C-alpha cells in the first residue's frame, strides 16, 4: 500500500452561503489555506462536513471540486455514507473513477447487529475497487467494538479506521491493530495526545479546519519526544474548548457552528450551517473571539485572524 496517513487530518468543512447553497469559492479558499499547513490529508464529507445534510448531487459537486482543487497534492479520503445502502453504492459508482486515496463509510444505523455491520462493510468492499476505511462514532451509529475492527481488518480492502471514542481502553485496543497495512486514526481533539501515546498514526478533527496549527503543534511536539510540551499544549486546548458557549449545542451537533465562525473570522468562508442547524449568534461569537484572544493571541498578532 501507499505510505500510511499520519499526523493531523482535518475534517473538511463544507462552506455554505447565506442562501443555503454550496460556497465553492469558500471551499477553494479553505483547501488553499489547509494546503499550506503540515497536514497528513483531508477527511472529506465526514460528519464535520455536514454530509448527512447534503443532497446526493451536492456531495458529488463537493467531490469534483475537492479533487480539482487538491491537484493531486493532498491525500483524500472521501465519504460515501448514506442511510440508504442503494444510495451509498450509487454514490460509489459515481466517484470511484476519480483519483483519490480511499472511501470512508459510516453505517448511519443505531440498531444493526455487529454481525450485520460486518456484512455491510464486506458487501461494500466487494462492490468497489477503492480501498475502504471504517468510520465509527457513537454520536451517529452503532458502537463498533475493537473486536469487530479486528475482524474487519482481515478484509484486505479495508485499510484503516477512524475510531471516535473517549474510551481509553477501546482506543488502546484499536490502536494496537495499526501496522504497515492498516491505518488507525483517532477523532477526538481533547484526547489527541493520549491517543498518540496509545499508538494511533494520527488524528482527524473538524477543529483541524479552522485551527490546524493548534493540533499540528501537539503532534510535532509528540513526534519530537517533547512530551511535556505536547501535554501543556493539549491541556491548553482542552481548557480553551471547555469554555466555548454551551447553548449552541442544543441546536447543533459537535462544534460545527463554532468552527465555521472561526473560519469566517479568518476570512476563509462564511459561518453558515446546513439545513436545520444554526449559526453562532452575536453573543456566542463574541465569547469565541474573546477566548481566541486569551488562549491563542499569536494567531491574531500574526494577522491570521
Question: What is the mean pLDDT of the segment spanning 204-211?
Answer: 96
pLDDT band at 300 (very low <50, low <70, confident <90, very high): low
Question: What is the mean pLDDT of the segment spanning 171-184?
Answer: 97
Number of separate domains in the chain = 1
Within a domain: 23? yes
**Average pLDDT across the chain, whole number:** 94
C-alpha cell at 202: 494520527
Q: Do 117 and 150 touch, CB atoms closer than 8 A?
A: no
Question: What is the mean pLDDT of the segment spanning 197-226?
Answer: 97
Within a domain: 1? no
Q: Do 43 and 10 touch, CB atoms closer than 8 A?
A: yes
Looking at residue 304, what is its pLDDT? Answer: 47
Reported as a single tens digit per residue, the pLDDT across 106-138 is 988 878 899 999 999 999 999 999 999 999 887
Orientation angle between helical segments 114-127 and 85-95, nearest 10 degrees:
30
Reported as a single tens digit per residue, the pLDDT across 241-291 is 999 998 888 888 778 999 999 999 999 999 999 988 999 999 999 999 999
Looking at residue 1, what is its pLDDT? Answer: 52
Reported as a single tens digit per residue, the pLDDT across 63-95 is 999 999 999 999 999 999 999 999 999 999 999
Nearest residue to 100 via CA among 122, 126, 133: 133
Looking at residue 12, what is its pLDDT? Answer: 98
Within a domain: 235? yes
Within a domain: 51? yes
Report the SS3 class of residue 268: coil
Residues 6+ apart with CB under 8 A from 108: 52, 81, 82, 83, 140, 141
Q: For residue 299, is pLDDT > 90?
A: no
Within a domain: 190? yes
pLDDT band at 301 (very low <50, low <70, confident <90, very high): low
Q: For residue 305, is pLDDT > 60?
A: no
Domain boundaries, position 206: 7-301
Within a domain: 199? yes
Within a domain: 2? no
C-alpha cell at 245: 458557549
Within a domain: 78? yes
**What percent of the chain shows pLDDT beyond 90?**
86
C-alpha cell at 60: 458529488
- Distance, CA of 31 to CA of 299 (rounded, Å): 19
In CATH, what number is assigned to the domain containing residue 257? 3.20.20.70
Reported as a single tens digit per residue, the pLDDT across 14-44 is 999 999 999 999 999 999 999 999 999 999 9
DSSP class per residue in 146-207: HHHHHHHHTSTTEEEEEEE---HHHHHHHHTT-BTTBEEEE--GGGHHHHHHHT-SEEEEGG
Across 172-176, 207-211, 246-250, least confident range: 246-250
Amino acid at each position: 500500500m501507499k505510505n500510511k496517513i499520519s499526523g493531523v487530518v482535518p475534517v473538511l468543512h463544507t462552506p455554505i452561503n447565506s442562501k443555503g447553497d454550496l460556497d465553492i469559492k469558500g471551499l477553494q479558499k479553505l483547501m488553499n489555506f489547509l494546503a499550506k499547513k503540515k497536514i497528513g490529508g483531508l477527511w472529506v464529507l465526514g460528519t464535520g462536513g455536514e454530509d448527512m445534510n447534503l443532497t446526493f448531487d451536492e456531495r458529488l459537486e463537493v467531490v469534483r471540486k475537492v479533487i480539482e482543487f487538491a491537484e493531486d497534492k493532498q491525500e483524500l479520503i472521501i465519504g460515501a455514507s448514506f442511510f440508504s445502502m442503494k444510495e451509498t453504492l450509487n454514490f460509489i459508482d459515481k466517484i470511484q473513477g476519480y483519483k483519490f486515496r480511499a472511501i470512508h463509510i459510516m453505517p448511519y444505523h443505531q440498531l444493526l447487529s455487529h454481525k450485520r455491520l460486518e456484512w455491510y462493510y464486506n458487501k461494500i468492499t466487494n462492490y468497489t475497487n477503492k480501498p475502504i476505511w471504517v468510520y465509527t462514532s457513537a454520536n451517529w451509529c452503532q458502537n463498533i467494538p475493537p473486536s469487530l475492527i479486528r475482524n474487519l481488518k482481515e478484509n484486505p480492502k479495508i485499510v484503516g479506521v477512524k475510531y471516535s471514542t473517549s474510551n481509553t481502553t477501546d482506543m488502546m485496543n484499536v490502536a494496537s491493530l495499526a501496522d504497515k497495512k492498516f491505518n488507525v486514526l483517532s477523532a477526538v481533539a481533547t484526547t489527541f495526545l493520549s491517543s498518540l501515546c496509545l499508538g494511533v498514526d494520527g488524528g482527524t478533527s473538524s477543529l483541524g479546519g479552522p485551527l490546524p496549527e493548534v493540533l499540528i503543534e501537539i503532534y510535532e511536539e509528540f513526534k519530537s519526544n517533547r512530551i511535556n510540551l505536547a501535554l501543556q499544549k493539549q491541556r491548553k486546548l482542552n481548557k480553551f474548548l471547555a469554555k466555548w458557549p454551551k447553548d449552541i449545542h442544543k441546536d447543533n451537533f459537535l462544534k460545527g457552528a463554532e468552527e465555521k465562525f472561526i473560519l469566517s473570522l479568518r476570512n476563509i468562508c462564511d459561518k453558515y450551517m446546513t439545513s436545520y442547524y444554526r449559526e453562532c449568534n452575536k453573543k456566542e461569537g463574541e465569547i469565541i473571539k474573546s477566548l481566541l484572544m486569551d488562549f491563542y493571541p499569536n494567531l491574531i498578532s500574526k494577522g491570521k485572524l
